Amino acid sequence: MENFKLLKIEDSLKNSLNKMNFTKPTPIQGMAIPAALEGKDILGTAQTGTGKTLAFSIPLINKLILDKNAFALVMCPTRELATQVMEAIKSIISDKINIKTALLIGGESMQKQLRQLGNRSRIIVGTPGRINDHLKRKSLNLSATKYLVLDETDRMLDMGFTPQIEMVLKFVPKDHQTLLFSATLPQNILRISERYLNKPERISTGATSVPIAKIKQETLQVFKENKYDELIDQFLARKGSILVFVKTKRSADKMVKRLKEEGHSADGIHGDLRQSKRDRVINSFRKGLKRILIATDVAARGLDIPLIQHVINYDLPQVPEDYVHRIGRTARAGSEGSALTFLTPDDRLMWNSINKLIDPNFKSAPSNLRRNSKIKRRGKGPNNKKRKLREEKKLNFKEKRRPFAKGERDKSRRGNDNSEFGFKKKSNFKDKRKSFGKGKSEKPLRETEKKDYSFNSKKKFFKKKLTKPAGFTNNPKYLEKQNSENLSSDGERKKFNFKGKKKFKSRNSRPKNFTFKKHNKKRRKF
C-alpha cells in the first residue's frame, strides 16, 4: 500500500487522514492495516517510532463506524503511552464520526472517568490496573467489545501485568478481534499469542532487537567519579534536546536538582510523579521549554517526542531489551539521532548482554579503563562560580576536620582544647570519675582520698541526725530525751530559732473546756 487513499475505509475517515496530512503509510502500517480491515488477528512486531499507533487506530475506528453497537478496548503499559494513544485517536475522529472516548489511567480523577463511561464511550484506552478497578466497581462493561488492542505487550509483561491482562480477557467475549503489537518478541509473547489469538497473521518490519539504523550509537568509558563531569561536557558539546536515562527515581531527582542549581534547563520524570505533573513535564519538553529531560525507564516506552536529538544512557538498563527502547526515543518518524552510553568497569557484563541481543556473534571486548587512572575533575558549565564556591566550602570543612594523629583522638576526648572548632572548653564528666581497673587510673589516690566501699560503710550514707524537734508533744519521756540531746558538750542548752511558748506546764493544768484553734488554711484539692 503506497497511499492511504487506496485503503478500503469510510470516506469520513479518509477525510480526517487528509486533514492530518497522513498520505504515505509506514511499512508496519502498510502491512497491518489491510490485514486488520479483513478482520484477522495480528501479531505485529516493529521497532519504536515506526507508527504502530496508527496501524491499529485506523482499522479500529473504521470498524466502529460500520458497527454502531461495537466497542473497542486498548491496553497500554504506562499512563504516558495511554495518553498519547488517546490523543492520536482523537486527532483522527472528526465531528462527523462522533465516537466518544474514555481514558482510564491511574492518577486521574475517578469521578471524571465515571462520567466518561456514563456517556457511552465506545473507545476505551487505559492501563491494566485502572481497567481492573472499574471492572471490580462494575462501572465498565466489556460484553460488547469487538476490538481488542494490546500495545507494547512485552513491556506490560515485564512490569508484571500478566494477571491483570488475563483478568480483563475474562470479561471480553470470545468473538472479538485481537491486535497485539510489541517492539520485541520474547517467548512469553508467543505463549500469550497462542493462547488468546485466533490464527494470527505474523507481521514484522525489520529485526525486532536491532536498533534503528539512523541512530548513531556511541560509547564512552568512564569511571563513576567522572560520570557527572562527562555529562556536563556532553551538554556543552551537543545541540538540541537531550534525554538522559538513569537507573533510579532518587538519582533522577538528585540530578535534576543539581542541574537546576548550576543553571541548566532541565526537568525530570519518573513513576512517583502525579499524572498532572508528568503531563506538564512532557509538554514543556515537547514544546522546547526544557532542553534536558532526566528520566527512568518509565519514559522508555511510548514517549512520542519528535524533537529528541540525543539520548544519553547515564546508567545502563536492568534488562537488555530496554536498551533498544531507550535509544528508540530518538530518530523517530524518519529523523536522525544519536545515542551515547556511559560504560564503567562494573557495566561490562550488562553491556555484553546488550550486544549479544543485538548481534548473536558478538564477542566481549576488554575494558580500556585502569583502576590507577587519575580521576578528572572538571569545572565546565554554566554558573561555574557556584560550583567552585561549593567545592571550596567542602575543602575548608575537610581541612578543619583533619585526621587525628596517633594519640590525638584520645587526648581530644579527654577534654583538650577545642578552640579550633569554635567550642569553649567544658569540663569532662569522664575526668571526674575515678577508674579502678588495671591500667585505667593515671594517678594513685592518696591515703586520705581512699574510700571504703564495703557494705558496712553504707549505713553512714543513710543515717540522718535530727537537729530539730520532730513535732509538738507533751510526753515527758520524749521531752527528757530531747533535753538530753539538745545539750551541748559543755552542758549548755543549744539554741533554736523556735519562737513560741508552752501554754501549759502539764496536761492537768489545762482547763477542761479548752480547745486548740483549728488551722484556717484550706486543704488543697487535687
pLDDT digits (tens, 9 = 90+) for 39-61: 999 998 877 667 888 899 999 99
Residue 285 is part of which domain span?
215-389
Confidence (pLDDT) at 15: 87
Same domain, 163 and 304: no
Confidence (pLDDT) at 495: 52
**CATH number of the domain that 359 lies in?**
3.40.50.300
Q: Rounded distance, CA 190 to CA 187, Å?
A: 5
Output the CA torsion sign for 269, 275, 276, 282.
positive
Strand ranges, E, within 127-233: 145-150, 177-182, 201-205, 215-221
Same domain, 108 and 234: no
In the chain the first and final C-alpha atoms are separated, in Å, by 96
Domain count, the chain: 2
Q: Are 247 and 318 in contact (CB under 8 A)?
A: yes
Confidence (pLDDT) at 157: 83
Same domain, 201 and 273: no
Same domain, 23 and 166: yes
Spans of the chain, pLDDT less than 70: 1-2, 48-49, 206-213, 299-304, 306, 331-335, 365-507, 509-526
Q: Rounded distance, CA 46 to CA 357, Å?
A: 16
- Cα radius of gyration (the chain): 42
Confidence (pLDDT) at 388: 58
Same domain, 225 and 184: no
Question: How long is the chain?
Answer: 526
Q: Is residue 355 part of a domain?
A: yes
Q: Are 266 and 290 in contact (CB under 8 A)?
A: yes
Same domain, 368 and 233: yes
What is the β-pairing status of strands 145-150 and 123-126? unpaired
Q: Rounded distance, CA 104 to CA 129, Å?
A: 9
111 conformational bin, left if phi > 0, alpha if psi -120 to 50, beta if neither: alpha
Q: Is residue 523 part of a domain?
A: no
Confidence (pLDDT) at 236: 92
Confidence (pLDDT) at 445: 47
Q: Is residue 290 part of a domain?
A: yes
Same domain, 295 and 384: yes
Q: Rounded distance, CA 71 to CA 87, Å?
A: 18
**CA atoms within a 13 Å half-sphere pointing along the CA-CB vector of 47:** 25
Using alpha carbons, select from 249, 463, 339, 341 the residue that is nearest to residue 49. 339
Cell of 399: 581541612
Confidence (pLDDT) at 215: 81
Q: Is residue 473 part of a domain?
A: no
Q: Are 274 and 107 in contact (CB under 8 A)?
A: yes
